[in-house]
Amino acid sequence: MKKSIILLFTIIQFTGCKTVSNERVFQKESLIPWSIVGFDVKERTPEQRLDMLKRLGFNQYAYGNRPKHIPTMKHEWLLAKKKGIAIKAVWLYINLNKDKVNKLKPESEVVFKNLKTVGLKTQIWVGFEPKYFEKLSDEASLVQAVTMIEYLSKRAKKLGCKIALYNHGGWFGKPENQLKIIQLLPKEDIGIIFNFHHAHEDLDTYSKNIKMLLPYLWCVNLNGMKKEGPKIISIGKGNLEKDMIQQVLNLNYKGTFGILGHVKGGDPELILEENYSGLLELFDKQNTINP
């Protein structure tokens, strides 16, 4: 028996295999459902949405609203707390034409107002409107992005929250630019949310980017991936996502994974189920994950 154990250990060392339990890495209790509010063809109420999560076996999610959900935002957060469902992040979409330091647009300001009222301490996932940066130089883009992120981070800290940069396309979504922003704000605790479905333009440099971002990665949102698109497909229906996920695991990533409930005009309940099933099917039942 002892010789067999030594032989097995030697084989694992030699091949570089890592035996990882899917029960630990991809269990529903660890995954964060995302994009289940703003893209729901059934237009669920907060009660219906939280009941859906419970029914599916999820005990947490990230809240990504649209302006029409603002009237029920605070109610949903309070109800989630009552039901024992954790809100791991809230979405904040910044348009520098409308959002200014010390004067955010009403749709942005209400996020901070409700965070304070509810006492919700969570991550704030910040995306920037890409078009704003199109006519700016890299230097001007960096100055404006850093100024806004520093302002948001300081406000978030007062509420017990943290800011994370979300790759939503354009200049701000580029990994190298997000890294520059973080490095210019060494006193702020800022993370990065990496979304597969917003990474098609950078697939050729994915391996380099994911290693570069690793120290700041707080969540990786998964999606089926094909270089030619479409942008969003179910996990397991692409030909790239298994290797992309594998690379993250091989880096000994300690953050969380998100699972999309988003297809335009789709039902998040069905999409979450399909994505979860596809995720498990990507890895065999032996749970052996190879580099």
CA distances 180 to 137, 140, 167, 171, 202, Å, are 15, 13, 14, 12, 17
Is 8 among the domain residues? no
Q: Comparing 115 with 1, which gets the higher pLDDT?
A: 115
Work out the pLDDT band at 216, boundaries 50, 70, 90: very high
Confidence tier at 284 by pLDDT (50, 70, 90):
low
Token pair for 154: 């300081």
Closest CA to 199 of 222, 215, 219: 222
Backbone angles phi, psi at 198, to 5 degrees: -110, 15
Task: Say whether pTM exceeds 0.95.
Answer: no
Q: Which residue do the tokens 């988003």 mark?
A: 262
CATH code at 187?
3.20.20.150
- In which band, very low, low, confident or very high, does the pLDDT at 146 lie, cut at 50, 70 and 90? very high
How many domains would you assign to the chain?
A: 1
Bridge partners (DSSP) of residue 62 are 89
In a domain, 132, yes or no: yes
Name the β-bridge partners of 192: 165, 217
Q: What is the CA radius of gyration of the chain?
A: 20
Asked if residue 57 belongs to a domain, the reply is yes
What distance in Å separates the CA atoms of residue 42 and residue 121, rounded to the nearest whole number?
29
Residue 81 inside a domain? The answer is yes
Provide φ and ψ at 47, rounded to 5°.
Answer: -60, -45
Note the pLDDT of residue 223: 97
Min mean pLDDT across 98-112, 148-162, 210-224, 262-276 is at 262-276
In a domain, 212, yes or no: yes
Assigned token pair, 12:
């694992």
For residue 172, give its domain range. Answer: 29-281
Mean pLDDT along residues 107-135: 97
Q: Is residue 288 part of a domain?
A: no
Give me the mean pLDDT over the 109-123 stretch: 98
- Residue 191, both tokens: 């993370």
pLDDT > 60? residue 291: no
The percentage of the chain sitting over the pLDDT mark of 70, rounded to a whole number, equals 89
Cα separations (Å) of 62 from 45, 76, 258? 16, 12, 9
pLDDT at 264 over 80: no
DSSP string, 46-71: HHHHHHHHHHHT--EEEE---GGGHH
Checking if the pLDDT of 8 tops 70, the result is no
Q: Has residue 241 been placed in a domain?
A: yes
Instruction: Decide if 287 is inside a domain.
Output: no
